[in-house]
Every structure is written in C-alpha cells, then in structure tokens.
Structure 1
C-alpha cells in the first residue's frame, strides 16, 4: 500500500511539473538560507563553551563612576585574583590574563610580527581547558621567562610539536624557554593567544595597587550559584582592601566617595556571556552582540515561514483543481483514510526532495558564507548529529501542514457535490491563501525597509565629518622596534617628497589604544568637578598631521619648554569643565602616593588650546572629553602622504626602515582601512541583510508567480469571452492583477509601522545616526509593488495574449 502511495504521488507531481518545481525551489531556498543562519547562530552561541568548567567560570569587571563620568572595565586590579582565592573558600581558583600587544618573534634572521601574545598566571590551566600535548601544565609557567605555545605555533617556528626546551626570542632581545605546547584554541573563544607567557616575567603583575586596573581576572567557583554570594560580598571586600589606598591618594574613604555620588564597584560576567553581552573597556578581543543573534534568528524564522507559506499556498491552490479527482476516487471505492495518506505522501515527498537540495546547497555555499560573515564554520559529525533529526522533524511538520488542507478538507466532500461542480473555485474564494500572500509580503517589506535603513546608516558612517581626515594617512604600527632610532626614522621620512606631515604617537583615532586619567577642576579633588577623560600623549605635529582644527588657543610647540606641563582639550572637555574661556586655565591630576598633610600630591596642567571635537570611538558612542598631553610616544608613526605613486613611496619608506632595523618586518596599514575595519561587523550585517532580503523576495515571488498562474488558469474561459467581446490586453492584465496588488498594499500598510519601530530601536544604539524619512518607507512599498506587479504580469500578459478560440472550443 505504501509503495502505491509513493508511486501515485510521483505521477501526480510529475504531471504538474511547473507547480512541483516552484514548490521545491522555493522551499529549498528557504531551508538552505535558514540552515546557513542556524550555523551562524550556533557558532555565536558556542563561544567559550569548549571549556569543561565553563558554567563555573566568571570574569570580574569594574564599574567606576567619578562625578558625571562612568566607565566600565573588563580588567581589574593586580592583586585581586590571589586575594579572592585566599578570602573566599567557595572560590576554587582565580587567574589573570594580560594581552601583550604587538610582539616580534625571531625566526632565523627575521622577526615576525605576532599579535596573539598574552601574559598569564601559571594556574591558567586549572581554570581554562587548554589541553597540553607536550610539557607539564602544573609547572610550565611557574618560572619567569617561560612560555607555552600552541601546536600550530610550534610547527611554525620549530617544525615540530615537540618544542619543550627550545628557546623563543621576543622583540630581538628577550629569551624565553618553551615549557609546554597546547592544542590550538578553538576559534569560538573570547581570547585566542598563540603564546602564553608567564606573568612572573612581568614585574607589575606582583603589584599591590588596588586603584589600578589592567588584568583580565577570572574566578572558578566550586558552584556556579555562589556567583550571587560573591557579588554581594564585593562592597565589603573593596572596603577592606582598597579603602586605605583611596584614603591615601584621594583623601577620602570609600563611604565618602560614594556619598558624593561616585562609586567604585566590582561585578561578574559569566564566561559564556562575554562574547555576546560584553563590550567594556579593555576587552581581550572584539566581541559580538546578542542583538545580531536575535536579528538573524528572526530572519531565519521569517524566511522559513515564507517558504512554508509558499508551499502551503500553492498546495491549497492546486488542490482545488483536484476536487473532481477526489470525487472519482471516492466513487471508485477509495476511503477517506486512503485519500489523506495520498495527499500527505505527495506533500512530504516534495518537502523531502527540497530538504535534500537545501542541505546540498548549504554545504556548497558555506565557504562563501564564511567569507561574507567572517566565520570559519565547518560541518562536523557533531553538527550532523543535531542537524539531521531537526531536518527530519521539519520535513514531517512542513509536509504534514502543507498537505493537511487537501488531505482533510477535500477528502471530506461528498462525491456527488464535487462531480456536479458545486465546490467553489477561484482565487477570491481562497481567504487563507489571501492571508498567506499578505504575510509573505509583510515579511518581505520588513526586510526591505530594514536593509534600506542599515545601508543609509552605513553610508552616514562612511561620509560623516569625523573631525579629522583619515584619507591618505599611512600608519607604521611597530615603531617601538626602532627604539631610540624612531625620531631619526620620522625625520628622514619627512624629508621624502610625497610626505606632508608625520606624527609619532600610539594614540590614534582608529587604533583602539586608549588611556584614561582623572583630572580635577581644582585642588580640592571634588569628584563633582572631576574629569575622567581619554589622556593621549602626542607631539607638536599630531594636530596638523590628523588635519584637526584648533578652535581656541594654540597647538603645542617644540620651542616652548613650558609645554611639557601644558594640555590641549577637546570641545567636549571644555563644555564639561564649564570654563567660559578655558585658555590658560589649569586642571589638576593626582600623582598618587602619600599626601603631605592635607596637601595632595598633584600635577598642575595648563590649558593652551581647544581642538574641535573628533570621533575616536565608534559612532555608537558620543564624543567623550579628551586631554592631549605633550610628550614623546613611539607607539606608532602616522604619515600624511600627498602623492599618487604610493607604491614608489612605500618602497622608499621600507628602505629607510630596513636601514635602521634590518631583519624586522615593517608593520603598516592605512588609516581609512583601519576605520573601515572598526565597522566591519555593521558592513557584514548590511551585506547579509541584502542577500537574505533578496532571497525572501525571490521566494515570495515564486509563490506569487504560481498563484498568478493558478488564477489565470481558473479564469481561462472568462478571459476568452472577454477577448471575444473586445477587451484589450491591458484590461485583462489589470483584471488579473488587481486582487494580488490589493493584498500587497495591505502588506505595505501593516508592515511599515512595525518596520519603522524596529529599525528606529536599532538606530538607538548609535549616538550619531540617520533619521528614517518617509521616502524610505515609500521606496520599500513602491519596490514591493513593482516586484509583485512584474511577477504577476508575466502570467497575466501570457493569459491575455492567448488565442480565445483555444480556451472556448472545449465548451
């Protein structure tokens, strides 16, 4: 019997090849797209879960509010980890990590730039799952000048994983002994180091400062539930260990500090939440956002729904044409149960074929999707373990739902009514189909408006005046390798034709290297009059090279010795300080250490200029106060070029570099590329939105195409009569199109307010953003109407041009 169902289903589907192809193609597209999005979401949700103790690991963060300034840090104080372990019995262990930044590692006669170097405590292997394949994790990092490397790094530098006992040279001068080799970290990790250097090599790691924060600190609890208990204990903990230093440096207790409206707090973030929920100052890597998980999940659900709606729509539409078949079958002795199984078999067969095509397509498109999304997703046995049962369930659910109308509705008709033609047919009689068409275009319009808004915002970011000129600025990132020769390198470059200006500093608007300091408006150290800005050390060439504008006062000068204690502030800082004219006013900085009686140990800084506000954070954030101090910082060299022969100029710059630092590779980029990289996630989201929106529209149009063909087929004789009576093609096209266009208009009216609300909420994440103008909604609506009309017109024109004799001669 089952074989007969399959055979009959195949014959029926083959007979209606057009509808079958549309059904399979639409459903396969929807399922393939949904699968790709599911792969992305699963990858995002899997971050840090490779750790076997992940559920019990928490990172300790800081929340500092000083007056009106509030900053949250992903780093904490040097002695915090060992103190937490000593103080609380439910803290099983605690460990620290500190990123080393750009480091050069010697291989033979050359130095290779490495950015995945981290200082770590020796007990890191007790907390995180870092399987060691050579060496002893208990002793590997106990001594200074020791390092554990990953498997791929061992092969890269020593051509073997058995690298224990070998030496690695950092920055052309520091020798470290390899004491262990661990497996490569999964990509789904919020830190991804290739070199784990013993923190015993880092003198500041033994500091007992409780008012300084520079170590990512993690606690491993004996029970995850103890996290609430630990969080509740933090106020008393800080009072006990940092209170004395605060009294010494600020002249007040923590209670007085908090009474003034400021606060200094510690709080926990679960390890598995870091990647999607944390975006604090001092993160070990750029994290993602749970917002994108929600957006992509919604898109996946919507696209799958559109595909399923398509399938159901076409199945119900075609079923009306099979009413007489049902009548004949019932007269010939078929039971209702047989008819139900027959219709369900056809539906499930289509779904199964579409699913197989979808899996194949998703696997083939995965490399391109990885490149687009910046992922490295691979299909593994574990992936198949959850994917195959899920897809099987989808096949059964979608197939059963799509086949339920013909299976249960048509099979219930009395044969005599069906054969007499009493079953209502035609598009107008399909209330369910009309609702489903509205739903499809409702979702499509949501996606169209979302895509337009995202691209408008991205264009706004690309074209906004940032307060500096990022174009034609070359940044040499590893200037520190030149040591004392850095100034010579800068001087020699400024003499080259094609170079206008050059500035030597590691603090650039696009590089993410940040530093904050506390300044006070007066010597009373009143927090309400405190400023907690970015504090950047720059030279006299910084503002001209960045093409920034001085709006008051002057720039630093190499000729004025007094500029060593001078500062330049931005407009945001001037507004915050409330000076009518800030020029020649002073702000004060605590130098730390013991107070001399009631006199704080302070440094006076005289304001000599105000620079026009410039963006140095994401446009998601408002421009914050910044203080530029005068000094020498060889973190990087920014060079403004003025030549079209960039290749020739770069060759000269490399020659100068090699003459001063042979064997060390120059590491450089262009500032506009660095700026674009900081918005890469938004650009990827925009591109993905366009692709998925296009797919949703294609799937919706496939369904509309099929329904238009069905409507034209149902009214073939009506069209023939109208043509005989003199109706021209335009009248017939309008007649066949108006019902569908009405449904699309309903979708536009209902979808537009929701799309405006959702995208307006998304834009709230940007401090600087576009406005959603009426024409965006109008453009999406007109676009949807045109797409729908073109889709419908193809079938309508075909029907209108048909010879009426062919449609009437059968009567």
Structure 2
C-alpha cells in the first residue's frame, strides 16, 4: 500500500509540477530564512547561560535618581558592605577588565585581554580547569590562562603551569605565576578573557575605607556580580538594595539596582551592533514569512486535491473507504513536506556561513541543524493537523455520486492565502525601503565637522607610558602627509560612555532642581583645527590653558547663558571641584551616531594624555599616511603591534553596520516573500482560469469582449492587493516608525512611499497573471462548450 501511495504521490507531483514545485520551494525558502533568524535570537539571549545557576547571577550597578545617568561600575568597598547587610549576596565578585601587554621567556610580546579579579570570581563564574590548581587565585600575582593563550605562549597547557609572565604595560608589577589553565570562554559571553589575574591593586580597592557613601559613585571602577541562592526573593532584595545608599549615609542622589546577567548585553552595553528589538523584529518577520509560506503551501496542495476529485471518486467506486482516502491524502502531503525539507536543509547548509559572516557570530552547526529538525517536525505536524479537516470534507465529497456533488466556488482559504502572502510582502518591501532611505539620510547628513581626512589610532592603552606616547607623537608629526595630531577622549560609538557623562556642574543662575547631564570631553589645543569645527564665539583652548573650557551650542542653551564668554563654571568631577572660565562656543556637531541627540558638551584641557589620538592628513593622502603609520608603530614599541590606524569616516560608517545588515536581510525577505506570492498567484490564476472556462465562455457568448474578460480578472486581483494593503500598510508604518524612534535624527515615512509600494505590487501581480488571463480571454467558447 505504501508503494502504491508513493507512485500516486509522485505521479501527481509530476502532473501538477508547477503548483507542486511552487509550494515546495516556498516552504523551503521560508524555513531557510526562519531557522537562522530563530537561531540568532536564541544565541543573543543566551549570553553567559552556560554558567551553572546563570538564572541566579545578577549585575549590581547604580543610577542617579534625578538625571537617570547609569553607572555600570561600583567601588570595591561596596562588595563588603553589601555582604554585611545582605547575607544572600555572599557569593559575589568585583573585578575590572583591561588589556595587559605581557612577555614571557620565549615570547617578547603578547597582548592579553585580562580580567583583574580574585578567587571570588570563580564562585560566581566557575571555569573548567584543564590543569593546575582548582583554586588558582589564592595570592596576588597569580594568573590563570585560557587554553588557547597557554598553548600559544608555552606550546602546551601542562607546560604553562608554574611559568612566569611579566607585564610590559604595568612594569611596576612583579612577575605573574601561572597557576591554572582553563577552557576558552564561549563566544556568547559578556566576559571574554585571555587571562584572569589577581593583583594587589584590586585588594586595595576592595579594602579602601571611604569617608562617605558618595565614594560608591566617585570611585566606581569595578564591575560587580552576585550569585543568589535559588530561594531568594529577588524582587524584595532589589527593593532593599535600591535604598541601600540612603540607609548607609543619607545619600539621596543615587540608588543601586540589579540586573540578570542575561540582560547585561542589551541593557548595560549601549554600543552593541544590533538592538534586541531589531533581532525580535527579524524573528517576527521570519514567523510572518513562515505563515505566508504555509498558507501558500496548503492553498496550492488543497487545490490540487480538489482538481483530483474525480480520481478520488473512482478510488471510492472501486472500494476505497473514506478513511483510506484521507490516509492517502495525508501520506501524499507528508511526502511533499519531506521533499520541501530536503532543499531547506541544503539552503541552510549553504547560507549559514554567509549568515555567520553577516552577523559576526559563531554558528554551531549541530545546534543549527537540531533547531532545523525541531522546526521541520513542528511544521509537518502543524500542516497535517490543519489539513485534516479539509481532507475529511474532500473524502466525503469523493464518496458522493456526481449528481449529488456541486461545484463549489473558490474556497475562502485560497483568497486568504493570497491576501496574507501579499500583505507580508508589502510589509517587507516597506521595511526595506524605509531602512534604505534612512541609511541614505544618515550617510549624507552633515556631521558638523570634516570627518574625511582624519585617522584614529585605535588600540592605545590608557596605561601606555606618557614618554612613549610623546615619542610616538613626535615621530608621527615627522610624516609629511600628516598636518596635525590631537588627543581627545572619545570614540565614535552610538552614545557617550558613562565615564564622559557628568551632572555635578554649577553655573550662574542654575536652579537647585536642575540636574542636566553633560558630556565632558578632555582634549587639547589642536582639536578644533584637526576636526575643522566652527567657532561661534570666542576662541578654542590655548596650549597650557588649564582652567578654560569650550561649550557647544546645546550646552549654552541648557545653561541659559546669554553671554557665555568669560562665565565661570564649576566642575565637580574632580576631587574638591575646580572653577573653569568659558573661552569659546562651538557650533553643535555630532561626536556620536545619529541614534543619540547632540549632548550638551564641555571641552576642557586635559591634565594628562587621554591616549586617544586623531590625525589630520593632507587631503587625498590618507592611504599613504596609514601605510607609513603602520610601518612606524612597531619601531616605536613592540606593544604598538596591536595599535592600528583607521579612517574616522569608516568608523562612523561601521556604526550603521547593523542597519546595513538589516537592509540586506529585509531585501532578501522581501524578494523571497514576493516571489513566493507571485508564484502562488500564478499557480492559483492558472487553476482559476481552467476552472472558470465555462463562466468565461458564457460571458463571451453574451457579447463580452476580450478586454472585458481581462478587466474582470484584473479587478479581482487588484481587490486582493488592496485588501492586503489595508492590513499591511498600517502594520508596516507602525513597526518601522517604532524602529525609527531609535534615531534622534530620522526621516518621516511619506505617503508616496506607501502608495508607490502598493502600486508596484499591483503592477507585478497583474503582469504575473496576464498570460493566463489573456489566454482565457481569447479562448474559443465553442471549444469550451464541447469539452464540458
């Protein structure tokens, strides 16, 4: 019986190959898009989930109550005070993360991404020890290496134990002793590392007794995580923690908050390439595409079974029961689904490297295929369950005599399928168009300074020796293609980091209730010249002018200063606070991406090098300058091998990398979905024109012209597109308008875009069905009457 069913299934697949192939490929493409999107969502929401008890690990951070400024770091003393007050937080750890330039006996230079912590780190984040001491950070200057680094430095993990490593960056540190080697951390972690090191400086920060709880804010340099017992009342603990600074020292300005470790990546790290909303949007898009494909698939194959009603009736006449007919149809549908899973499997294997490179994530192929298998089985079960009721109805119809059977009109399901496919296609097309127009707007918006011709030296450590930095600047200045060099503490990113945001400022006329957040940028006298920014009033900072500041327009507006030049402003970001005199006002310009508004900004002369160099080159000489800089860097110091020059314009362009990826994804989804829709419409139009031959013949006998017949069909398909648009346009507008809210500077979704998309889809649909409709309209009614 199975062999017979197989023969029948494949014979009909070949007979109705257009409709069958359309359904198979549409389902395959939909799965190939949906499964990687679902994998990405699971990957991005699984950061640090591999740690035992990860559901009970929380990050502690603080928030300024008035300004809302978030400080993700805390002071070392906070750990001990919280442990005394909240016994549930006994498993806690504070640490900081920094690049550390090191050397060993056989390796003169290696840069290690280092977590500076003590043994409490392993109580919160247990590591798989390959060899060495299972409690490896008992005393200061003990260091733990990841497996990759240990093999790179010493050839074997076992040989690394007991070896000495010297820091060339922190040259005052004693040599470190390797006490353990642990497995490399997975890529989906908030705490990647090459080494974990226990130094005396960390112990000092933890034992420092501050005079006031304000130090929790002022000397915040450490990350803090706690691991709670499973029975802990997390909400109650969070409420007690919130008011802890107030209870401790009557400090009403800040509150402490806690966040699950799984939320850290997308709630404390504002500079991730993709937002969680964008990833969710992509998954929702994949779900819509899947539903569209499933509707298309069922629509086409149910229509095939309706066209075979005579064949099913003959089987019933020859003794087949209704149950056997249902089993035959279910078996044939199952075969088609399995055929669709085969190309979907192939597509996923082909596409996953491209997907991995596009999103810059590591894809575990076994996990991806497992997810595909689960989705494939789920799709099969869902399709068989949904198809069961129509199959029961078809079997009852097939059991009836011809005189009892009536030709039914077009099933509602067919129209619903077309409308849904077209609606999803319209949503994807509008999404792609909005992203494209917004990207064009972002790429062509005036940033307020001349970013072309500027090179940024990335990778300089905060701890780089000042004398070495002076030597580097002097050698860079000798390159003919370089016009000037400036030192400014900021990097192109989506928003200012918390270190640069300040609230403790005083100026004439300030109200006590005012608590605006300012961006404070330490820089030097060359910044205005290097960035070619416009001075509106006064002058830029003078060389050696320590107590001068320059404001931007937004800062002047926020302070309400009518005559800012010469105004004395007190900055309390330093111990005891200092008075600064306003030397000038610059025109507003974008230091960060267009996702954030221009901050009220204060530029001041730094007392120390910020180790963030920007180099202005002669126009058109960027590439020559970069080549010479690359040759120069290792000559100054071996550690500069990890310093690299990058065009500032490219760094700003990278800020929009997620949008560029999103544009590509939505273009693919829009293309795939539209093709699925058009193929489905073509197949449906082909079946409809065959089914309605008698109706067309009657119209022609009654005097209708070919043009009247074409208009009759066209009206139906135009109406379907308009119905789809009625659902799709509001949805697309709401979704994409919400996405645009992530930009402080954005486009407006215009009416012409929505109308243009609907018009374009109508034209494509009409062109798709034109051949079938033209053939039906020009058919000979006499031939139709004879055949009927």
Give TM-score, length-normalised by structure 2.
0.90
Alpha-carbon deviation of 1:170?
3.1
Per-residue CA deviations over 1:279-326 (Å, capped at 9, x if unaligned) read 46xxxx737533134212211211111111111111232233222223
Question: After superposition, where does 1:82-93 map in structure 2 within 5 Å?
Answer: 82-93=80-91
In structure 2, the partner of 1:570 is 552
**More deviation in 228-237 or 521-530?**
521-530
In structure 2, the partner of 1:246 is none
Question: After superposition, where does 1:498-509 map in structure 2 within 5 Å?
Answer: 498-509=481-492
SS at match of 1:133: strand
Alpha-carbon deviation of 1:661?
2.8
Structure 1 CA distance for aligned equivalents of residues 295 and 714 of structure 2: 20
Native 8 Å contact 1:516 1:532 kept in 2:
yes
Question: After superposition, where does 1:378-389 map in structure 2 within 5 Å?
Answer: 378-380=364-366, 387-389=372-374
Structure 1 CA distance for aligned equivalents of residues 751 and 678 of structure 2: 25
Native 8 Å contact 1:125 1:137 kept in 2:
no
Alpha-carbon deviation of 1:615?
2.2
Native 8 Å contact 1:520 1:589 kept in 2:
yes
In structure 1, the partner of 2:212 is none
Per-residue CA deviations over 1:511-541 (Å, capped at 9, x if unaligned) read 9665234443259997535554222211111
Structure 2 CA distance for aligned equivalents of residues 810 and 142 of structure 1: 93
SS at match of 1:315: helix
Per-residue CA deviations over 1:432-486 (Å, capped at 9, x if unaligned) read 2112211111111112112211222222222222222222211123456463143
* Structure-2 change in CA distance of 1:634 and 1:74 (3 Å): closer
2:453 corresponds to 1:472: yes
SS at match of 2:319: coil
In structure 1, the partner of 2:72 is 74
2:187 corresponds to 1:211: no
Structure 1 CA distance for aligned equivalents of residues 187 and 520 of structure 2: 34
Question: After superposition, where does 1:686-701 map in structure 2 within 5 Å?
Answer: 686-701=663-678
Structure 1 CA distance for aligned equivalents of residues 547 and 660 of structure 2: 42
2:534 corresponds to 1:528: no
2:309 corresponds to 1:323: yes
Structure 1 CA distance for aligned equivalents of residues 70 and 715 of structure 2: 58
2:384 corresponds to 1:395: no
* Structure-2 change in CA distance of 1:287 and 1:125 (3 Å): farther
Structure 2 CA distance for aligned equivalents of residues 234 and 302 of structure 1: 42
Native 8 Å contact 1:720 1:808 kept in 2:
yes
Structure 2 CA distance for aligned equivalents of residues 59 and 105 of structure 1: 33
Alpha-carbon deviation of 1:389?
4.4
* Structure-2 change in CA distance of 1:807 and 1:471 (3 Å): farther
Native 8 Å contact 2:570 2:578 kept in 1:
yes
CA RMSD of aligned residues (A): 3.0
Per-residue CA deviations over 1:395-423 (Å, capped at 9, x if unaligned) read 12213424642x12222227565368732
* Structure-2 change in CA distance of 1:108 and 1:789 (3 Å): farther
Per-residue CA deviations over 1:170-211 (Å, capped at 9, x if unaligned) read 335454332221111111112212222225344545444323
In structure 2, the partner of 1:250 is none
Structure 2 CA distance for aligned equivalents of residues 375 and 453 of structure 1: 26
Of 147, 150, 155, the match for 1:154 = 150
**More deviation in 754-763 or 230-239?**
230-239
Native 8 Å contact 2:458 2:612 kept in 1:
yes
Structure 1: 5+ residue stretches without partners: 244-252, 594-600
In structure 2, the partner of 1:653 is 629
Native 8 Å contact 2:19 2:680 kept in 1:
no
Structure 2 CA distance for aligned equivalents of residues 639 and 798 of structure 1: 69
* Structure-2 change in CA distance of 1:728 and 1:623 (3 Å): same
In structure 2, the partner of 1:459 is 440
In structure 2, the partner of 1:606 is 581
2:576 corresponds to 1:579: no
Give TM-score, length-normalised by structure 1.
0.88
* Structure-2 change in CA distance of 1:220 and 1:762 (3 Å): same
Alpha-carbon deviation of 1:748?
1.3
Structure 1 CA distance for aligned equivalents of residues 594 and 681 of structure 2: 41
Native 8 Å contact 2:310 2:398 kept in 1:
no
SS at match of 1:95: strand
Structure 1 CA distance for aligned equivalents of residues 398 and 306 of structure 2: 14
In structure 2, the partner of 1:626 is 601
* Structure-2 change in CA distance of 1:146 and 1:626 (3 Å): farther
2:278 corresponds to 1:292: yes
* Structure-2 change in CA distance of 1:808 and 1:157 (3 Å): farther
2:175 corresponds to 1:200: no
Alpha-carbon deviation of 1:770?
1.1
* Structure-2 change in CA distance of 1:744 and 1:62 (3 Å): same
Question: After superposition, where does 1:272-311 map in structure 2 within 5 Å?
Answer: 272-279=262-269, 286=272, 288-311=274-297
Native 8 Å contact 2:590 2:598 kept in 1:
yes
Per-residue CA deviations over 1:569-606 (Å, capped at 9, x if unaligned) read 1222111111111110011123766xxxxxxx431111
Alpha-carbon deviation of 1:36?
1.6
SS at match of 1:564: coil
In structure 2, the partner of 1:435 is 416
Structure 2 CA distance for aligned equivalents of residues 291 and 20 of structure 1: 36
2:71 corresponds to 1:96: no
In structure 2, the partner of 1:249 is none
SS at match of 2:148: helix
Alpha-carbon deviation of 1:110?
5.5
Native 8 Å contact 1:551 1:610 kept in 2:
yes
Per-residue CA deviations over 1:55-92 (Å, capped at 9, x if unaligned) read 111101211135xx331122222211232223322223
2:142 corresponds to 1:136: no
2:215 corresponds to 1:230: no
**More deviation in 211-220 or 388-397?**
388-397
Structure 2 CA distance for aligned equivalents of residues 757 and 479 of structure 1: 44
* Structure-2 change in CA distance of 1:365 and 1:570 (3 Å): same
Native 8 Å contact 1:523 1:588 kept in 2:
no
Structure 1 CA distance for aligned equivalents of residues 130 and 221 of structure 2: 30
* Structure-2 change in CA distance of 1:745 and 1:663 (3 Å): closer
Of 102, 116, 120, the match for 2:117 = 120
Structure 2: 5+ residue stretches without partners: 210-214
2:276 corresponds to 1:265: no
Structure 1 CA distance for aligned equivalents of residues 282 and 247 of structure 2: 46
Alpha-carbon deviation of 1:695?
1.4
SS at match of 1:698: helix
Native 8 Å contact 2:492 2:593 kept in 1:
no
Structure 2 CA distance for aligned equivalents of residues 781 and 199 of structure 1: 65
Alpha-carbon deviation of 1:636?
2.2
Structure 2 CA distance for aligned equivalents of residues 456 and 538 of structure 1: 35
